[in-house]
Structure 1
């Protein structure tokens, strides 16, 4: 309950607005109950980012359920992004925002943002290998993901996810797998 409330507060106002008193009020608990679990704002922000990472990984896994084609699983990631952008509470990537607000001064936040980006790159690299794409294509796909997150946050629209998905499809088409039936 406290972590969910903290996530809402972070989403509404960013890391600089994350206050233990505000979270306690949003969660409907006493300030001491929040302080017992999270002694300071950095501990609270760190917990929220870890919570967001779990949500992200769960969402990615759910987006790929039932999709057997590796290239389609790559495109499903962009569909998942679009669903994230549709959420009325979505105000941008918590990791990008957290890094921008606190990451330069707080190494813990910077490390969590780096870890999040690395997890996306690792996931995309694995999908590229499964899809018979060069692993370095994952770097370009990662830029599409991050760019879509930033643009969607600024413009308040889902369009960047669709544009990134289309661009990803075009990029993958450059690496069409060889068809044996062409040589028969």
Structure 2
């Protein structure tokens, strides 16, 4: 039995990339269960045989889509780290990135939250990948907080703000949750700002 992880063991082939991209778009638009392999093949510009050669089951496509989302999220976090001079700015930059995501007309919520809601009770691997993604976000925030002289429990609060904003934005079809969460994050971090001694 192969252990599933958020990081693919091999790079996608062109056919796999087309298939997972098409599946990502269709799952985002309609959810996983209603989408057929034929629809994915059509969207990807592949024959059904080519799709099945790339990803033999819809479940394998679900896993590939979650890995795509996690990879995009990690690249965004790494970029924010690279361009931020201060850990607090880095945290606020994450909420800025979320705001950009939420402003996209195609935004329908986080694939991990949606996938867990739709499939998590039926498929323990999907549930496990969602948990690992959330833990990875919290681990990253913990490291940022350490660099900023803030305790680890602040990272837990920031993680809740991120996930709450993702959910609320999908329900409201609005970027406002990212702005509200960013303000709350700034207020939370301000408690731990160093103050000059008198």
Structure 2: distance between partners of 1:23 and 1:101? 18
Could you tell me which runs of 5 or more consecutive residues in structure 2 were left unpaired when the two chains were aligned. Answer: 1-17
Residue 178 of structure 1 and its aligned partner are, at CA, apart by 3.8
The answer to whether residue 154 in structure 2 is matched with residue 137 in structure 1 is: yes
Give the Cα–Cα distance (whole angstroms) in 2 for the partners of residues 160 and 64 of structure 1: 22
Mean CA deviation greater in 79-88 or 143-152: 79-88
Q: In 2, distance between residues paired with 1:134 and 1:152?
A: 28
CA contact (8 A) 1:145 1:164 kept: yes
2:173 matched to which residue of 1? Answer: 156
The structure 1 segments of at least 4 consecutive aligned residues displaced by more than 6 Å after TM superposition are none
TM-score w.r.t. length of structure 1: 0.95
Aligned to 2:76: 59
Measured in 2, the distance between the counterparts of 1:68 and 1:103 equals 38
Distance in 1 of aligned mates of 2:99 and 2:82? 17
Please tell me whether the aligned partners of residues 18 and 45 of structure 1 are also in contact (alpha carbons under 8 angstroms). no
Q: CA deviation at 1:6?
A: 1.1
- Quick one: distance in 1 between partners of 2:32 and 2:72? 18
Higher relative helix content: 1
| 8 A Cα contact 1:9 1:17, kept in partner | no
Matches of 1:93 and 1:84 in 2, distance apart? 10
Structure 1: runs of 5+ lacking an equivalent: none
Distance 2:77 2:150 in 1: 20
Describe how 1:1-184 pairs up with structure 2 within 5 A.
Answer: 1-179=18-196, 182-183=197-198
Measured on the aligned residues, the alpha-carbon RMSD in Å equals 1.1
Number of residue pairs matched by the alignment:
181
